[in-house]
Amino acid sequence: MAAAPAVPADLIVTGCTALLHADPAETDPRRAADGIRFVPDTALVIRAGVIAEITDSAGAAASPSRERIDAEGLVALPGLINCHTHSPMVTLRGLVEDRPEQEWFNDWIWPIESNLTPRVIALGARLACAEMIRGGVTCFADHYFATDVIADAVEETGLRANLGEAYFSSQGAEGRARSLDRALGLRGRAGGRITTSLAPHAPYTVSDDDLAATARLAAEHGLPVHLHAAENRAQTDTSLARHGRTPIDVLRDTGLLDVDVLIAHGTGILDRDLPALRAATGRIGVASAPRGYLKFGWDTTPVRALVDAGAHVGLATDGAASNNTLDVWEAMTLTALVQKRAERDPRWLTARQALRHATLDSARAVGLGDTVGSLAPGRRADLVLVDLSGPHTQPVHDLAATLVHSARSADVRTTIVDGRVLMRDGRLTSVDVPSVAGELAELLPDLVERGHGRRIQTYDT
Amino acid sequence: MAAAPAVPADLIVTGCTALLHADPAETDPRRAADGIRFVPDTALVIRAGVIAEITDSAGAAASPSRERIDAEGLVALPGLINCHTHSPMVTLRGLVEDRPEQEWFNDWIWPIESNLTPRVIALGARLACAEMIRGGVTCFADHYFATDVIADAVEETGLRANLGEAYFSSQGAEGRARSLDRALGLRGRAGGRITTSLAPHAPYTVSDDDLAATARLAAEHGLPVHLHAAENRAQTDTSLARHGRTPIDVLRDTGLLDVDVLIAHGTGILDRDLPALRAATGRIGVASAPRGYLKFGWDTTPVRALVDAGAHVGLATDGAASNNTLDVWEAMTLTALVQKRAERDPRWLTARQALRHATLDSARAVGLGDTVGSLAPGRRADLVLVDLSGPHTQPVHDLAATLVHSARSADVRTTIVDGRVLMRDGRLTSVDVPSVAGELAELLPDLVERGHGRRIQTYDT
């Protein structure tokens, strides 16, 4: 135990039971469930946004600190990571329901998205950040337009984010150029909490030439690429029928598997795609958002095959327009449930595996595997405190099972990013939800107007 | 609008937006989504446990009442109904995870259940009631042992319940006799909040003779029957291989489709079973608990086919030993999601259908279709108030979608049964959870002991 230093810590969290990874530097996703343990009476000493020391209550008792949180009876987890979302789309939550994806996109979402003003995006991003902080999410990978506006919301609300400015080839050269400009201009902002990606929309809306150029730019500038690919089986089948290649083949052929890539959804990834993923020289992340796949009647992400192929499978919510929530805790629970059903194997995707996907694997998927995703000295202090005293989480026989299968996002009491407390005992400290929701409500009538006949893009896989 | 009566009401809830059914007496489950509407500025006037009047705030302003709840900004729903659970099994929540059902039953649950003392059952039932009240459940159908002990918990906590004393043919004549004794002895207790059922365990643990005798007793005493049947496809296949009949055939042949029956799960119900269900002269309820089916890797309940066959499909959680929660709100959400996937049809099981299954259809499934399940004059005052002001439920474009796909059980603020407030603004009024959980924790070591080699029953479908 270190002697109490002269300079006070910024924050000390005492008395919690902490989820620790035996080896936070382990990068092999096949060891998913290994080495998660729960250590009672843990104290986390935070300095300059970093976990400086992990000790016990006795060890922390003598350490001076500017702020202390008594977490007696609470469980500390690494903050959850939303590996793929479109945060401002919370503004459209619940507007268009019970429709297949073509109709959903072409008749509703893409006409309405052409109405989005910077003010609506700014409000939507703030509301999304509030929802994520409330639900224990400390970092999100956003794939959307106006990332400069979203960056302001990230800066203000205190979250961590990886931002990718989406583009279609239908926008001409300007789209790709703006995606690069934003990636270079925004990275490092918000005290380093913002990282960036290049963000072509998908192989069916971006040409092979643009994808290949994006791969070259990614390598040149040290940027990852975040895009939709093989979102569902129909996309894969259409791609095969049109040019004899799967979406993953397209990624391989355009060089996107030789840079760090984050693939959204991948429910249409086939066994024949696995060799290409195994042979990738870049880091392959796949973001799985299981709720929306059920809702559209799709298959789910083939997590077991992807893990076997060495991909980092992270958890996600997609945008709330389709998914209705940004609840990564629910994504964790659903991943455990849906993957058991998909594999017809109740022994697969244990609660510990689910926790590993939600923490270290998600951090690796978004390119932050050495920075967050684990409570360990030297990592950024992104963590949540969870209350398991409610009747729905008692008694506790096994903490992993209780967290994954009984607890809910609403049981998160406190959310901390970079050592800053963004929610304390259920109260948000950086977003005024009634004010944001109130202003948004006034703008909704203009937002949902479809009479103009414009459409941001056409869905035609 | 009625003139203010001289005698004060017991409780008036004012200012809520209320979910009302256009025709609460409609009994055809094929009209599932019809007629749900949301009426703003509603006031509910409650007298002697009954909804005496539904009016607006102005209409209620002059009415005297012993108690008023200002529900401005909240949504009032009929209380949710848990159509099949084993409430005391919350004591085993999370103990045995990630195992197929045979191993789960034979190596763990049935040996451990032989340890259950009346005190553990009493504590478990109270904890279960607390969890359900917290999650907006006002009524549950329990299938378990020691229903006399459970009845005390129901009486004390204020919930409504249908209790069925489970029996196996391996218990000899005594099991069936006790099931009848308890059904006759407990019905009407707790001021009429307790109704009862005969509760044979399942066709694979109860002989045809016992099932037929149960059907005769049900008819004789005006009791419904609550049992597991066709829980999964393997059970149906085994039943066919052993004696050429499906579990539903067995129910038909033993007369159980000619009395009011509540079938738990039914995920192994086949198309060939539908004519028997259509021809039933009794009321057919089916309780669907979708979470556990995912966890065991099973198919789900064929809701569309059952609705077409005239069955009342209610929502359920099963016991928390397998399901981990008694969260009927989650069952509602999962039913919408999983049924879309099962039918590969995003237009099926809309949010309004899900709400109807959670309310009127569930009430009919448990035999209370004329008593609860709808906010209507003359019905018992079982209702919940839901807060949609959180960041995860804003903005609201469509209340049905927000309730089913964005809201969570934790958004229930107030739970009322028979006009009695069991949770007020998040605080339980009838159960001391820390006391119950504390005593239970002390009893757990003895509870989970398996060294004695006893087993309550053997799972061998």
Say if residue A18 is in the same domain as residue A106. Answer: no
pLDDT category at B141 given cuts 50, 70, 90 is very high
Tens digits of residue pLDDT in A411-429: 999 999 999 999 999 999 9
pLDDT at A34 (0 to 100): 65
pLDDT category at B295 given cuts 50, 70, 90 is very high
Tens digits of residue pLDDT in A21-33: 988 887 777 765 5
Least CB–CB distance from B395: residue in A91, A298, A428 = A91
Tens digits of residue pLDDT in B29-61: 776 556 899 999 999 999 999 999 999 999 998
End residue of a domain, out of A365, A383, A412: A365
Mean of the per-residue pLDDT values of chain A: 95
How far is the C-alpha of B268 from the C-alpha of B231, rounded, in Å?
Answer: 6
Residue B260 lies in a domain: yes
Q: What one-letter code names the amino acid at B431?
A: V
* CATH code assigned at B33: 2.30.40.10
How far is the C-alpha of A220 from the C-alpha of A218, rounded, in Å?
Answer: 5
pLDDT at B5 (0 to 100): 52
Q: Which A residues in the span 292-321 are in contact with B, Cβ-Cβ below 8 Å?
A: 293-298, 320
pLDDT at A1 (0 to 100): 47
Cβ atoms A383, A76 nearer than 8 A: yes
Residue A358 lies in a domain: yes
How far is the C-alpha of B230 from the C-alpha of B99, rounded, in Å?
Answer: 20
Residue A434 lies in a domain: no
Least CB–CB distance from A94: residue in B291, B296, B405 = B405
* pLDDT of A370 strictly over 70: yes
Q: What stretches of A324-423 show up as alpha helix (H) in DSSP?
A: 328-343, 351-356, 362-365, 399-401
3-state secondary structure of A383: strand
Classify strands B137-144 and B160-167 as parallel, antiparallel or unpaired.
Answer: parallel
Q: What stretches of A86-146 show up as alpha helix (H) in DSSP?
A: 101-103, 110-113, 118-134
Mind telling me how many Å the CA of B195 is from chain A's nearest CA? 25
Say if residue B110 is in the same domain as residue B54. Answer: no
How far is the C-alpha of B456 from the C-alpha of B110, rounded, in Å?
Answer: 5
Say if residue B334 is in the same domain as residue B222. Answer: yes
Say if residue B245 is in the same domain as residue B339. Answer: yes
pLDDT at B34 (0 to 100): 65
What crossing angle do the helices spanning A173-186 and A208-221 adopt, rounded to 10°?
20
Q: Which B residues in the span 201-230 are in contact with A, Cβ-Cβ below 8 Å?
A: none
Taking contacts as CB-CB distances below 8 angstroms, the residues of chain A near B408 are 408-410
Mean of the per-residue pLDDT values of chain B: 95
Say if residue B353 is in the same domain as residue B226. Answer: yes
Cβ atoms A76, A21 nearer than 8 A: no
Say if residue B229 is in the same domain as residue B278. Answer: yes
Under DSSP, the state recorded for A283 is P
Say if residue B127 is in the same domain as residue B262. Answer: yes
Q: Say which residues have a Cβ less than 8 Å from residue B354's Cβ, sequence separation at least 6.
A: B332, B333, B335, B336, B404
How far is the C-alpha of A399 from the C-alpha of A380, rounded, in Å?
Answer: 24
* pLDDT of A39 strictly over 80: yes
Say if residue B125 is in the same domain as residue B248. Answer: yes
Size of interface A-B (CB pairs under 8 A): 191
Say if residue A290 is in the same domain as residue A349. Answer: yes
pLDDT at B102 (0 to 100): 86
pLDDT at A315 (0 to 100): 98
- Tell me the average pLDDT across B252-266: 98
End residue of a domain, out of B343, B365, B387: B365
Residue of B nearest to A126 (CA): B391
Q: How many structural domains are present in chain B? A: 2
- Tell me the average pLDDT across B352-374: 97
Say if residue B294 is in the same domain as residue B424. Answer: no
How far is the C-alpha of A6 from the C-alpha of A65, rounded, in Å?
Answer: 10
* CATH code assigned at B202: 3.20.20.140
* B437/A contact by beta carbon, under 8 A: yes
Residue A348 lies in a domain: yes
Residue B305 lies in a domain: yes
Say if residue A53 is in the same domain as residue A98. Answer: no
Over pLDDT 70: what percentage of chain B? 98
* A413/B contact by beta carbon, under 8 A: no
* A92/B contact by beta carbon, under 8 A: yes
* A445/B contact by beta carbon, under 8 A: no
End residue of a domain, out of A365, A383, A416: A365
Q: Are B94 and A337 in contact (CB < 8 Å)?
A: no
pLDDT at A448 (0 to 100): 85
Tens digits of residue pLDDT in B97-127: 998 888 888 888 888 888 889 999 999 999 9
* B135/A contact by beta carbon, under 8 A: yes
Give the lowest-confidence range in A53-57, A107-111, A206-210, B281-285.
A107-111
Q: Calculate the alpha carbon distances from A69 to A385, A409, A416 in Å.
A: 10, 20, 11
**Higher model confidence: residue B125 or residue B452?**
B125
- Length, in residues, of chain A: 461
Residue B289 lies in a domain: yes
Residue A303 lies in a domain: yes
Q: Name the token pair of B70.
A: 């200002």
* Number of other CB atoms surrounding residue B417 within 10 Å: 26
Q: Are A401 and B97 in contact (CB < 8 Å)?
A: yes
- Tell me the average pLDDT across B81-103: 94
3-state secondary structure of A357: helix
Residue A67 lies in a domain: yes
Q: Are A101 and B390 in contact (CB < 8 Å)?
A: no
pLDDT category at B20 given cuts 50, 70, 90 is very high
Cβ burial B194-203 (10 Å sphere, 16+ → b, else e): bbbbbbbbbb
* A418/B contact by beta carbon, under 8 A: no
Torsion of Cα atoms, A356 then A359 then A363 then A366, to 10°: 90
* pLDDT of B247 strictly over 50: yes
How far is the C-alpha of A77 from the C-alpha of A38, rounded, in Å?
Answer: 10
Say if residue B17 is in the same domain as residue B103. Answer: no
- How open is the CA angle A181-A187-A193, to the nearest 5 degrees? 155
State ipTM: 0.96
Give the lowest-confidence range in B226-230, B447-451, B457-461.
B457-461
Q: What one-letter code names the amino acid at A421?
A: V
Mind telling me how many Å the CA of B277 is from chain A's nearest CA? 27
- Tell me the average pLDDT across B361-388: 97
pLDDT at B33 (0 to 100): 59
* B409/A contact by beta carbon, under 8 A: yes
* B427/A contact by beta carbon, under 8 A: no
Determine the structural domain holding residue A47 and report its residue range.
11-78+375-428
pLDDT at A397 (0 to 100): 95
* pLDDT of A378 strictly over 50: yes
